[in-house]
Structures are given as C-alpha cells and as structure tokens.
Amino acid sequence: MSADFLYMIEVVINGLMAGVLYALVALGFVLIYKASGIFNYAQGVMALFGALTLVGIMEGQVPFAHIINATFGTDLHQFGWTVPALLAILLTVGVMILLAWMVHTFVFRHLVGQEPIILFMATIGLAYFLEGIGDLMWGSDIKTLDVGIPQGGSLWVENLSSGLGGEDFYGFFIDKLDITASVVAILLVAGLIAFAQYTKQGRAMRAVADDHQAALSVGISLNFIWVLVWSLAGMVALVAGIMWGAKSGVQFSLSLIALKALPVLMLGGFTSIPGAIVGGLIIGVGEKLFEYTIGPMIGGATENWFAYVLALLFLVFRPQGLFGERIIERV
Amino acid sequence: MKDQVEPHVTADGRRIGGVLMDLRGITLRFGGVEAIKNISFDIREGEIRAIIGPNGAGKSSMLNVISGFYHPQDGEVWFRGAKRPAMKPFQVARLGIARTFQNIALFDGMSVLDNIMTGRLTHMKTGLLSQMVWAGPAAREEAENRAVVERIIDFLEIQAIRKTPVGRLPYGLKKRVELARALAAEPKLLLLDEPMAGMNVEEKEDMSRFILDVNDEFGTTIALIEHDMGVVMDLSDRVVVMDYGRKIGDGTPAEIRANQEVIDAYLGVAHD
C-alpha cells in the first residue's frame, strides 16, 4: 500500500475519533429535545460545569471560596484533601442530578406549555447563569483534569499497523484518549438506547415526549420524568466534559463545543439518537478529509468552517437531517 | 329522581355492587361559563354507566373532573368510600381510574405493544436503579407485565398490529389500542370518552362487543360518553342525561326513553 493511502486511512480514523466526541455532545441535545421538545442551548455549559465540578471535588477545592472569603474575611481555598477519581465522578453525578432537579423545579416547571422559542430563550439564560455559577464556585483558572484516562499515542495500534506499509512507515498514530472516548461513547449510547427501549422509566420517557395528556392518563408523573431527562442530559454532559477536559484542559472555552454540536444535529436530525452518532462521525471524518485533500489548495484551516458549510447545505436540501422526523403538515 | 339500587345480579348474570364513585354537587366553571352546574350521581361497582347529552352539555368536562384533568370549584368526588382530595391526573390514574380520550391520545411514535405497556406502568414497582441495570426482579416484572399485555392484545384481537407504530394505524384500530392501554392498567373504573365517535356501523358493533366483554369478563366498572342513542340504550345499565351543564335525567334506559325532558332536549321543543 502506498504511503499516501495509508496516511489517508489514518486521517479517516482520527476523524472518526473526533466525530465520536462531537456525537457525545450532540447526544445530550437530542436526549432533551426528544423528551421535552426543549432545544437546550446550555448543554455545552453543562459539560463545562460538570468538568469544573469534577476537578473541584477531586482537588478538594472549597466551592464559592471567593464569596466566603470576601464575606467572612477568611482565607479558605482548599479543604486540604484530594478525592479519588471514581468517588469524585460519583459525587459529580450527584451534583448533576441536583442541578437537573433545580433546573426543572425553578425554571422549566413554570414554563410548561409555552412556545418552543420561549423555552429556548430560557435555556440561553440558563447557559449564562451556569457559566457564572461555575466561575463563582470553582474560579476561572484553566485546570487540568486527570481521571486516569491513558493519554498519548497507542503503541499497540502503531505496532499492529506498522507492517502495512514500507520501510519508512511506522504505523498509525492514534491517541489512547480518543480510543477510550470512543469506547465510553459506544457504551453510553448502547446503555441509553437500552434504557429508553426496555425499562419502564425509558418507556415513560418516550411516552411523555409523545403526548403529555396521554402520559398523565396512564399514571406517569411528568415532573419526575423531566427531572430524569435533565439528569441523563447532565450525565451525558459530564461524560463529554470529562473527555474534552482531559483532552484540552478544563477551561471556559469548553462551553463552545456546544457550537460544534449544532452542525452534527443538523446532519443527523434533532430527534434521532443514531442520527447524532452518524452525524458526528460524518462531520469528524468530513472535516479531517477535507483539510487533508482540499485544504492545502485553499490555504488550510478549513476545519473551522467546514462543518458549518456542510450543515448549511443540509439545511437547504434536507432540513430534517438524515434521520430526523419529516415534518408533514396536513392541509 | 335518585334511584336506590341495591346490590343485585342482572338478568344476564352480572353482579352490580355498591357505590364505587359518588359525585356530589359538582360545579365546574371556566371563567364566567358554568360547564357543570351542581350535578350529583353515582357509579356502582360492575355497572356500565352512560353519560349522554347534546353537544356542549358538559359530558367531557364531567369525565375530566372524574379523571383529575379538571378541578371542580364546588362539590366532592368520593371514590371507594373515601373523599378524594384534589389530585393531579397521574395520581388519579394510580388510584385505578383509566381513561380514553375523545380525540385519541396515544403515543404515535411508539409501537402498539409499547403503547399498551405504558398502561402497566402503575403496576411496575421495581426502582430506577434496578431497571437501569436490568436486575433480576426488573426483568421478571417486565415479563409478567408483558404477559398481561399479551392477554389484552388477544382479547381485543389486535395481534397482527402488535409491532406497528401507532401513528400508522387507521382510526378505528387506534381507538381499540387506546382501549387496550386503558385495560392494561386493570382499572377499577374505566372511563371511555366517545369510544365510538366517527366509526362505521361495523366498527361500532365490534367496539360495543368489546365493551360488553370487558365488563362481563373482568367485571370492570365502566363510565362512558356516547352520542349514538341506540348504542347507549343497548349497552348501559343506567344513564345520566346532561343538557347545558345540568342533569336532566338519571335512570335505566327504559326510564330515560320515557323522560319528557330528555325527549325535549334531544328533539327540540316548540316554544310558543
């Protein structure tokens, strides 16, 4: 095999891995959109908030240290202990569930039956609020997140693939973190699908998404289901936050990964879990391949805009996305 | 007017028991409009109780009061010998009151089987965590409830469409699936809001047969709203007649047929 071809394969594989991370964020959007018809602009900030909280708990940071110190004249910053990663993740899941409950109880419960655009506006407000609270709680420094996910190129893949090429081919370089992220994402998606399809709460969740009145008539508590949905979205956000945080540090620009999820959603359709995954993969592979093939001809840096142009094309020719529900109105 | 029916066995062998639900002085207002004006009647265990009346008489509002979708400004709802506090619809459903809707409220994106399984939700007790990991009890519970649902599917003769998404079904079958979902809850009281609206004669006959069979085989108490007088008179044990939010008649089909006020409301009365 020629070196060029092998290099292209490597580009595609790396694209797939990046796509998995995009899909992870998009998944959080789809989950909430399907179950409550809310387009949750705050999904990216939830990922940031999850990652910040995780780092804070792990490092034994005192939450709201600035306010406490300013009010009481103390000088508290650290509890002086560190929490093992697994325990910290469990605690953070608890925080995300609490957050879900608060978001539902204080915001969305009062907006039941409102226009979608109003719900959307509320999530924008929520996004800024969460970003502020995250800053207030844990400070605005860039933090490194190390939950023990292996990083760096995988020697195993390198050795395995080095035989494919000639003398000067050393095998594919694939980051272990990306491999881990893919495995986690696949498990998460399989778990979510199984949960939605085969458990009573999953069934109730789909029922609520379909028809509120009918759901009430069979004894489903809408409040419980909505808290459940926001909790799940919070957990997906946390997973995305951990993966992105481990990759590029926990910083406030993390909330912008939500923007990257938008083209993924337009491709895959807002209502489809498989769509979010396929959309993510297409965008991941597409932008890497485009950069590799067309990029050099037009001066590079195409990764910044390729996804959005692709999404735009989809909006023109197939507005419901690849897997989305076709909207047919009866006249 | 109020008839004192003692527990008894009907001519065709069904057992009519004591009072299951007692509505006392129900008044429901929407702003200035009085949809229901001080109405009282009861529903006895094991009977088929019809609520009839011209359009806009307040029949559906009455059903919505019973199922907790509306809360009356005045009056009391007594269920199984206890006064029921104001409840949300899902809490009412958990008490054992299932219903169908006039304009069908099914989960269009889900299969027939899944739709009917939602009717079993109130019977499934295992918690969120064991459901998530699909632990032994959760799996067993799912299987047990699935068996109940399959019996209902057989009973209503919808085996062939078990896996079909509900959104694709024709109207008559949707009505039947909705009945199946309500039955799956094994309700103590089953509320049917115009179960035969928009059906042709054949479909109406099928539905009538199912309603009678449900009442007969499971002993389910049924309260229904229906427009088709012929059907109502054939099906029901007792009938409440409403007009402009008032109760104008209450009794057996024979009594209702002979009630002058009811005849006037239905046929119109000459004002001279």
**Proportion of chain B above pLDDT 90, given as a percent:** 58
pLDDT at A98 (0 to 100): 96
pLDDT tens digits, B240-262: 999 989 999 999 999 998 888 88
Res A14 pLDDT > 60:
yes
pLDDT tens digits, B153-188: 999 999 999 899 999 999 889 999 999 999 999 999
pLDDT at A319 (0 to 100): 81
Average pLDDT, whole number, for chain B? 88
- Choose, out of B63, B69, B90, the residue to mutate when testing the contact with A (most A CBs < 10 Å): B90
Res A36 pLDDT > 80:
no
Residue B134, token pair as written in the block: 């699909």
Cα dihedral value A288, A293, A297, A303, nearest 10 = -10
Local structure of B111: helix, strand or coil: strand
Q: How far apart are CA B176 and CA B196, in angstroms?
A: 10
Cβ contact A14:A291 at 8 Å? no
Cβ <8 Å between B118 and A211: no
CA-nearest of B39, B48, B181, B9 to B105 is B181
Cβ <8 Å between B122 and A218: yes
| Partner residue opposite B109 with nearest CB, options A194, A206, A216 | A206
Hey, is the C-beta of B130 within 8 angstroms of any chain A C-beta?
no
| A219: nearest CA partner in chain B | B90
Cβ contact A125:A43 at 8 Å? no
Distance from CA of A198 to the nearest CA of B (A): 9
Q: How far apart are CA A60 and CA A80, in angstroms?
A: 6
| Partner residue opposite A200 with nearest CB, options B93, B106, B131 | B131
Listing from the earlier edge strand, what are the strands of the sheet with B19-30?
Answer: B33-44, B19-30, B74-79, B82-83
Cβ <8 Å between A211 and B106: yes
Top mean-pLDDT range of A87-96, A105-114, A148-157, A313-322: A87-96
Hey, is the C-beta of B197 within 8 angstroms of any chain A C-beta?
no
pLDDT at B51 (0 to 100): 94
Local structure of B260: helix, strand or coil: helix
| Partner residue opposite A199 with nearest CB, options B89, B132, B182 | B132
Total beta-carbon pairs less than 8 A apart between chain A and chain B: 89
Distance from CA of A164 to the nearest CA of B (A): 42
pLDDT tens digits, A260-282: 888 898 888 888 888 888 999 99
Hey, is the C-beta of B253 within 8 angstroms of any chain A C-beta?
no
Residue A113, token pair as written in the block: 């039956």
Cβ <8 Å between B107 and A200: no
**Mean pLDDT to the nearest integer, A301-316:** 87
For residue B1, what pLDDT band results from cuts at 50, 70 and 90? very low
Res B134 pLDDT > 70:
no
Higher pLDDT, B249 or B125: B249
pLDDT at A165 (0 to 100): 67
For residue A329, what pLDDT band results from cuts at 50, 70 and 90? low
**Proportion of chain B above pLDDT 70, given as a percent:** 93
| A207: nearest CA partner in chain B | B107
Give the start-to-end residue ranges of the domains of chain B.
8-96+187-267
**Mean pLDDT to the nearest integer, A300-313:** 87
Q: How far apart are CA A49 and CA B228, in angstroms?
A: 59
Cβ <8 Å between A216 and B110: no
Cβ <8 Å between A219 and B90: yes
For residue B232, what pLDDT band results from cuts at 50, 70 and 90? confident
pLDDT tens digits, B77-123: 999 989 999 999 999 999 999 999 988 899 988 999 999 999 998 88
Q: What ipTM does this complex have?
A: 0.75
Hey, is the C-beta of A113 within 8 angstroms of any chain B C-beta?
no
Task: Identify the residue whose tokens are 């007790």.
Answer: B125
| Partner residue opposite B121 with nearest CB, options A195, A213, A220 | A220
pLDDT tens digits, A24-34: 888 888 877 87
Hey, is the C-beta of B69 within 8 angstroms of any chain A C-beta?
yes
Rounded to 5 degrees, what are φ and ψ at A247? -75, -50
pLDDT at B122 (0 to 100): 86
CATH class of B8-96+187-267: alpha beta
Hey, is the C-beta of B122 within 8 angstroms of any chain A C-beta?
yes
Classify burial at A152, counting beta carbons within 10 Å of its beta carbon; exposed 0-12, middle 13-18, buried 19 or more.
exposed
Cβ <8 Å between B90 and A206: no
Cβ <8 Å between B131 and A199: yes
| A221: nearest CA partner in chain B | B90
B-chain CB neighbours of A195 within 8 Å are 131-132
pLDDT tens digits, B190-204: 999 999 888 888 889
Hey, is the C-beta of B111 within 8 angstroms of any chain A C-beta?
no
Res A72 pLDDT > 60:
yes
For residue B2, what pLDDT band results from cuts at 50, 70 and 90? very low
B-chain CB neighbours of A90 within 8 Å are none
Hey, is the C-beta of A326 within 8 angstroms of any chain B C-beta?
no
| A225: nearest CA partner in chain B | B128
Local structure of A325: helix, strand or coil: coil
| B184: nearest CA partner in chain A | A218
Cβ <8 Å between A194 and B109: no
Res A330 pLDDT > 60:
no
Cβ <8 Å between B109 and A210: yes
Res A42 pLDDT > 80:
yes
Res A102 pLDDT > 50:
yes
Cβ <8 Å between A200 and B121: yes
Res A293 pLDDT > 60:
yes
CA-nearest of A96, A106, A91 to A229 is A96
Cβ contact A50:A28 at 8 Å? no
Residue type, A123: T
Query: pTM for this structure?
Result: 0.79
Q: What is the distance in angstroms between the CA of the first residue and the CA of the last residue of chain B?
A: 28
CA-nearest of A209, A319, A196 to A268 is A319
**Proportion of chain A above pLDDT 90, given as a percent:** 22
- What domains are defined for chain A? 3-317 (1.10.3470)
A-chain CB neighbours of B124 within 8 Å are 200
Cβ <8 Å between B128 and A220: no
CA-nearest of A224, A27, A231, A236 to A109 is A224
- Choose, out of B87, B100, B107, the residue to mutate when testing the contact with A (most A CBs < 10 Å): B107
Rounded to 5 degrees, what are φ and ψ at B257? -60, -35
Hey, is the C-beta of A221 within 8 angstroms of any chain B C-beta?
yes
